[in-house]
Amino acid sequence: MRILLTNDDGIHAPGLAALERIARTLTDDVWIVAPETDQSGLAHSLTLNDPLRLRKVSDQRFALRGTPTDCVIMGIQEVMEGKPDLVLSGVNSGANMADDVTYSGTVAGAMEGALQGVRSIALSQAYIFDGERKVPWDVAETHAPALLDKLIGVELPAFSFLNVNFPNCRPEEVKGIEVTNQGKLTFGLLAEQRRDGRGFPYYWLKFDGRKSDLKTGTDVNALAEGRISVTPLMLDLTDYAAQNALKTALSLE
């Protein structure tokens, strides 16, 4: 099995190192194409106005000045010279659940893999910030190999992919695995005004005061209760429930 790895935290991120160790429990044929720098929050974006600079770091490991989406495209078209059997994106520093999947570069890496017709899985590790970032990578490293071994055998519809989140706890405290749906968080982005050295204003986006109703069956609730969340996502964004209402309003029926 040939596996392509990418992420949005960058080529030197500890989560990517953890993902490589996880992938090597499945195969020795592991390729890495990851962003040269942190690309968090860039979602499924392409680099169209600047050249893509590809740098070979070591054997089967490359850094790209581009987004996670660019990395998957370059990995398949230039680096591997053909489709891999599996695309793994992550392991992200922080959970990617609920509405955040629309912002996530980690999820976008798996999304692009699915668009290319490759089985793809995004992996993220939850943590709590208490003055400094302490990410329990050993949770993902302990549980991901056996989980991936099962997930790669699941038949998925075309253009669907999986979003996996690991809870913030010790590996032995994980309370199982739950197949979930995408939850809902309150909007929590705040444009904070600051001043530069000359007194001119600038703004910094920050997350602030996000809440969830912890609805049973959601990815948010699963993580809150210490379970690994596995959410199937799809690229078809059509709101089928609204189609009939639109047809009626437009006198098309």
Model-wide pTM > 0.85: yes
CB contact burial 166-199 (16+ within 10 A = b; e otherwise)? bbbeeeeebeebbebebbebeeeeeeeeeeeeee
Residues in contact with 141: Cβ distance below 8 Å, sequence separation at least 6, in sequence order: 18, 21, 22
List pLDDT tens digits, range 184-228. 988 878 899 999 999 999 999 987 777 887 899 999 999 999 999
User: Which neighbouring-strand residues pair with 193?
Assistant: 203
Binning pLDDT at 50, 70 and 90, where does residue 252 land? confident
Contacting residues for 94 by C-beta, under 8 A, at least 6 apart: 124, 125, 126, 127, 135
pLDDT at position 130, please?
81
Report pLDDT digits (tens) over 30-75. Answer: 999 999 999 999 999 999 999 999 999 999 999 999 999 999 999 9
**C-alpha atoms less than 13 angstroms from C-alpha of 197 in its C-beta half-sphere:** 0
